[in-house]
């Protein structure tokens, strides 16, 4: 999900509404997180996607680490991450460096995401799986959430990732069916994303928690959004995040409208009636926002 509030509002755009505010860095952990990321040469979705929650999360000693480099092979109209074709280049030291960062931070919970790597036969699954295994060795008590792309629709790649035993397997639907083709890269797809989530439920262990995210403000209607939430529940998704799309630059898709906090509250309530174990919904909510809190709510919902 593109997260753009750290960037200036594009010229000619309407000013952001009063309920969207980015907090300045604070807290003792902020410089430690920044220092470790720099020393170990690690990318984060926090910076690459310009997440508005970066100050809050880094100040609390948490960051969402981005695997397989910082360049994506896809070009979605909402996303701030750089598009580039790496020609199969992979840094095999990355899993070890990520595990070392997790160990130094002493994290109870870590979120790992990836750039899409259509230049790799497995979509990067082997690197992601190795990273999870390295974290299990370096920091055995740390819970791991893995936010994957669609892996080219390859079930073997998804199985390889699941074999590394992440606690949460997340994949983002991003938007409603009618907007998917124009919002996402042509290689992505609404039905493919649902298939990934269904397969994760089918192939993963019983205790696996699954998760997805949808952006609001792209032009979706209420019935379309309700249908998307029902599709996610039908795919067995446990956890849901709903957030406001924010335009990274004037070359990205315009914001159709800014959704009020009250509307987000209503959608969070609706998700509860549909059977999601837990939902985070709000203008600045992103895929990994309060991830540990949602995970523990899902475990409680299952009686774990």
Q: Check residue 288 and give its pLDDT.
A: 84
- Domains in the chain, start-ordered, CATH in brackets? 29-301 (3.20.20.70)
Q: Check residue 79 and give its pLDDT.
A: 85
> Mean of the per-residue pLDDT values for the chain?
85
pTM: 0.86
Q: Check residue 37 and give its pLDDT.
A: 63
In this structure, how many other beta carbons lie within 10 angstroms of the beta carbon of residue 151?
27
285 pLDDT exceeds 80?
yes
Q: Check residue 82 and give its pLDDT.
A: 82
Q: Check residue 286 and give its pLDDT.
A: 85
Asked whether the beta carbons of 69 and 120 are under 8 A apart, the reply is no
Burial of residue 156, with CB atoms counted within 10 A of its CB: 0-12 exposed, 13-18 middle, 19 or more buried: exposed
Directed axis angle between helix 222-234 and helix 190-203, to 10°? 30
For the segment 59-113, what is each residue's pLDDT rounded down to a tens digit?
444 567 889 988 899 999 988 788 889 999 999 999 999 999 889 888 888 889 8
- pLDDT level of residue 57 (50, 70, 90 thresholds): low
Given CA atoms 251, 257, 260, 264 in this order, what sign does their dihedral have? negative
Q: Check residue 1 and give its pLDDT.
A: 36
- pLDDT level of residue 7 (50, 70, 90 thresholds): very low
114 pLDDT exceeds 60?
yes
Among 47-51, 245-249, 287-291, where is mean pLDDT lowest? 47-51
Asked whether the beta carbons of 279 and 39 are under 8 A apart, the reply is no
Residue range 212-229: mean pLDDT, rounded: 97
Q: Check residue 4 and give its pLDDT.
A: 35
């Amino acid at each position: 999900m593109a997260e753009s509030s750290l960037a200036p509002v594009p010229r000619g755009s309407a000013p952001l509404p009063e309920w969207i505010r980015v907090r300045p860095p604070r807290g003792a952990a902020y410089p430690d997180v920044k220092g470790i990321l720099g020393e170990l040469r690690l990318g984060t979705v926090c910076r690459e996607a310009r997440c508005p929650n970066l100050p809050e999360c880094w100040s609390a000693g948490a960051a969402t680490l981005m695997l397989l480099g910082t360049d994506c092979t896809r070009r979605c109209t909402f996303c701030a991450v750089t598009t580039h074709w790496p020609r199969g280049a992979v840094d095999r030291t990355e899993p070890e460096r990520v595990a070392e960062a997790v160990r130094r931070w002493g994290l109870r919970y870590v979120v790992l995401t990836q750039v899409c790597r259509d230049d790799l036969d497995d979509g990067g699954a082997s690197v992601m799986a190795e990273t999870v295994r390295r974290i299990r060795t370096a920091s055995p008590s740390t819970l791991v959430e893995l936010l994957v792309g669609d892996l080219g629709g390859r079930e073997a790649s998804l199985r390889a990732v699941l074999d590394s035993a992440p606690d949460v397997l997340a994949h983002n639907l991003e938007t409603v069916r009618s907007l998917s083709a124009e919002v996402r890269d042509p290689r992505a797809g609404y039905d493919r994303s649902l298939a990934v989530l269904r397969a994760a439920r089918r192939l993963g262990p019983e205790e696996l928690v699954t998760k997805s995210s949808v952006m609001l403000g792209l032009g979706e209607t209420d019935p379309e959004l309700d249908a998307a939430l029902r599709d996610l529940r039908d795919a067995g998704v446990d956890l849901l995040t709903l957030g406001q799309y924010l335009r990274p630059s004037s070359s990205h898709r315009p914001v159709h409208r800014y959704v009020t906090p009250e509307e987000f509250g209503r959608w969070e309530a609706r998700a509860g009636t549909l059977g999601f174990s837990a939902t985070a919904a709000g203008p600045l909510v992103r895929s990994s926002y309060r991830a540990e809190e949602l995970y523990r709510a899902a475990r409680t919902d299952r009686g774990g």
